[in-house]
Chain A
Amino acid sequence: MIAETGHYALILALGVAIVQMLVPLIGTHYRDPKLTAVAVPAAQAEFILIGIAFIALMTAYVTSDFSVANVWQNSHSAKPLLYKISGVWGNHEGSMVLWVLILALFGAAVATFGNNLPRQLQANVLAVQSSIAVAFLLFIIITSNPFMRLDPAPFDGEGLNPVLQDPALAFHPPFLYAGYVGFSMAFSFAVAALIDGRIDAAWARWVRPWTLAAWMCLTIGIAMGSWWAYYELGWGGFWFWDPVENASFMPWLAGTALLHSALVMEKRDALKVWTILLAIITFSLSLMGTFLVRSGVLTSVHAFAVDPARGVFILAIMGVFIGGAFALFAWRAPLLSQGGLFAPISREGSLVLNNLLLTVACAAVLVGTLYPLALEAITGEKISVGAPFFNLTFVPLIVPLLIAMPFGPLLAWKRGDLLAAAQRLMTAAIAALAVMILVLAVNQHGPWLAPLGIGLGIWLIMGAPTEIAYRVKLFDVSGSESWRRARNLPRATFGGALAHAGVGVMVIGLVSTTAWRSERIELLAPGESLDIAGYDLAFAGVAPRQGPNYSERVAKFVVTRGGEPVTELTPSKRAFAVEKSATTEAGIHNSWRGDLYVVLGDQLKDGAYSVRVYFNPMVRLIWIGALIMFFGGGLSLSDRRLRVGAPKRARSKMAAAAAVE
């Protein structure tokens, strides 16, 4: 009965979504306030109904109701409770339900908290948002229905992929989806503005919190995915330029650009058409990511659905929404009014540079992701585009952006003074240079680019306090005056600075791990030992152990450093009887210097094991950096104050740079 109620709720949600898609649009067209008013309760009802369906599905998982086919395929009575719950979205059908649940959540949030929106705009936004929901609800009900029943019910489930039984993975998809789907809000706002044929600075302010929230979720979602890949897949790496990773990274790049261009639009009423386009592109990339992951066109570890019917369906959804939005854009964008003017050297100018580099970098990733697929589709030849391609294309694009980043916040709106900004950044530059020389002195054997990378990271981190110091006029005025100014600074300023510093922290982590990682692959018999990066690892032996739904062979390594005991590492190989598969659990010891990472390989004939040992210097900074970016976004989101461009004099000498539209 619970399962059937969930099934009905899902179908009823489809009906409500159709009402929400049509009635408010008719209302705004005929200017009938009664019809437009339907949007709000419809969005709320849609969310509650999908919520009921989701809870019903979760109940079936928790109680191991194997009469529900989806539960039987993806769960097992012996599974720990946490993974019974995460099993709900650890499979195709359930994850699609989560997808529409988050979509409806954003819609309901706009309906409930969007009192500051003009009713017409709100109604149009909710109608567009709901059209996405209609498409995906149809997809779920027709091709991926999680409420299909089995009669008679099997006695036990077929289990979840053991690789997925992991706490980081339990929470990675919800965040990732919140990010993907959150950008649907920016998309809906953009399409609503196009339908409306009008767009102004206020629009940017309304769309900003939703974009920021989506960006935060995507940031943390990607970081969690990378963290999970790092310690679970046992390769010692953290980012593989895997198409699925790229699929989440591209919306992030475009979304980051959107976040910055919306800033220009809000403050200066400029870059309007570009911002609309970017909103459409960002969500299109999210849809593409969903398509790549869900349709199984990729032969990566991530591809789940091998059913071509589904792929074609999502492709159709993608075509309708992306094609429709771009057609609407081509038709309506020329009608939109153009925005304000500004000089190339100004805050706006720096944000345009940011947008330019981010979108081109995003295009590079897009090419690297889609080219192999296209080539395989056309010629049947299978190639893989890996790190070398992205190192050659993505990195050279992103490095100038990083170098320019601290300048942006120091430039004034409308017309900035680059020289003055450079002077203010002198401290940061000196600090970066000093660290660079220090690193070079310590590591005299190369790699030669690494100290530059570390210097870049320091430059970015130091740029953040420089900006704050500039704003509070530190040392120019008395300490108490500076303190007063600091307290009065908008939180968004701190948020932005924090996020930029987070990028610096991440850069340091990326560079040092990539440049100075040590790796050893050895055959080791119990009793033998090896040394890496100053650590001695004594291999004590391997013992069997029984877990809740797996049995494992656990190796024990006693780690010492200069004779002093450090820790004991217990990497293991787990065998899951029900799923008939195995996973590798790496043994990881983390310190400020970096991570010691041990993976147990196979046993060879003479009793020796193949053992892989890595030392990843400062690898944690990557995820710490992402966390800092997340909190920076949160701080900015909590700022309700407005941001209005405060242009300097010089209106007369406007070195006319038309807005980039």
Chain B
Amino acid sequence: MLLWVILAALTAIVLFFLLRPLAGGGGSEPAREAFNAAVYRDQLEEIDSDRARGLIGEAEAESARLEVARRLLATDAKRRKAKARTRAAGPARAALIAVALALPLAALGLYLFYGSPRLPDQPLAARLQDPASEQNIAVLVARVEARLRAHPEEGEGWDAIAPVYLSARRYADAAEAYAQSIRLLGATANRLSGYGQALVLEKGGLVTEEARTALERAVALDESLVEPRILIAIAKEQDGDYAAAIDGWRALLEKKGADEAWQAMVQKRIANAEAHLSGKAPAAAEGAPQGGMAGPSAADIAAAQNMSPADRQAMVETMVQKLATKLEQNSDDLAGWLRLVRAYTVLDRKDDARQRSPAPRPSLPATRTRRSNSTRWPQNLD
């Protein structure tokens, strides 16, 4: 409501100043020639004072005076010819009515088309203090980040935010957060595993030495973790050690029942490695590209918040199913694959997983819905 009052006041003030000349009495304006003559008279005075100061000689001054005087005379002649210009109030009245009606209507119409009058301002400081936005994971993340900037030595904060970063695909941030939590709280299997995954995904699927060390330590601490073992096997593939990679994949399959969708990937991977061993290199490239897999939309998440636990479980299962189907078609999507593994882990151990993490997995809400333009442009220089 206040917004409309402000907009109306703004319009009224602008109209008042704009229309005042149109509504006023019809005084005549000074003729143009008067302004020209003023300039030329100024120029004549200037010559005189230059002459008086001795800046120019008498002959020069005389010649300059003549020239300016000629301009002045020409102006005077024009001025005499020009008639007095006063007109009836007709056109002014018409213009007044037209502007007074059209301006507010056009502005309002255009604003209603482009504007969002119902959206309040949302400055960050206010949002962080607002308890109503408690539900919003995005705000939670921002709050943790703000706190970590102020207290970077709080390991719990890093520990909480690291998996969130990982699922938000902010891999560099995730690696940093895992590293900090390991430094401050000590290494656990989960942290090492997350750290390794973040490093690998940041490098686009390449398992670096550092990542491999972390992953191997994670497996040493907890044999049951799946993700690090997948990555270790991939590392072996990348080294060209296909036999060892196949051993790794097989071990994974033996440990778990073959009913989970991600295991189909493992089968493919084994076939792939065997092909390599027998010398027929398949087309599929390693160091799989990542991305391309959309998380749940904002609407999905919003819907999930109002569901019963059973429904929510069902929704997560459907989403996992969708993800698995997509991966069937694109088995090189390493990030998607790891997410699928993680999703099954959540389904298996949903209770403790939910307690430990501040985020409803598998992903952050996609808030980029109402973009002004669908294209991205690099913000560069000028």
Contact = CB atoms under 8 A, between A and B. Distances in A.
Contact of B22 (A3, A35, A45, A148): A35
Given A1-B3, A116-B35, A33 B122 contact: no
Interface in A146-180: 147-156, 160-161, 163-164, 169, 172-173, 176
B73 interface: no
A26 B18 contact: no
Nearest to A65: B123
A306 B103 contact: no
**Quick one: which of B368, B369, B373 has the most chain A CB within 10 A?**
B373
B24 A12 contact: no
Given A69-B371, A155-B142, A1 B2 contact: yes
A303 B381 CA distance: 7
Contacts of A31: 85, 87
Contacts of B107: 8, 11-12, 14-15
A7 B375 CA distance: 22
Contacts of B368: 150, 154
B251 to A, nearest CB: 34
B149 A78 contact: yes
**Quick one: which of A244, A471, A646 has the most chain B CB within 10 A?**
A646
A154 B377 CA distance: 18
Interface stretch (A456-464, A622-630, A637-645): A637-645
A293 interface: yes
**Quick one: which of B28, B99, B380 has the most chain A CB within 10 A?**
B380
B10 interface: yes
Interface stretch (B48-56, B274-282, B314-322, B324-332): B48-56
B36 interface: yes
B222 interface: no
B379 A73 contact: yes
Given A8-B10, A65-B121, A488 B36 contact: no
Given A30-B91, A155-B141, A646-B64, A116 B38 contact: yes
A119 B60 contact: no
Interface residues of A, number: 108
B243 to A, nearest CB: 30
A16 B142 CA distance: 41
Contacts of B292: none
A38 B18 contact: yes
Interface in A274-326: 293, 296, 301-307
A116 B39 CA distance: 9
Interface residues of B, number: 95
Interface stretch (B109-117, B209-217, B265-273, B344-352): B109-117
Nearest to A31: B85
Given A1-B120, A63-B125, A200-B36, A156 B63 contact: no
B92 A34 contact: yes
B173 interface: yes
Nearest to A205: B39
B119 A155 contact: no
B190 interface: no
Contact of B54 (A149, A169, A485): A485
A23 B114 CA distance: 26
B240 interface: no
A303 B378 CA distance: 8
20 contacts: A8-B7, A34-B89, A34-B91, A63-B125, A64-B124, A65-B122, A69-B372, A116-B38, A121-B35, A148-B371, A151-B119, A156-B138, A156-B145, A161-B379, A163-B380, A176-B382, A244-B381, A304-B382, A305-B377, A646-B47
**A-B residue pairs, 6 tightest by C-beta:** A155-B138, A148-B372, A63-B123, A37-B21, A64-B124, A118-B32
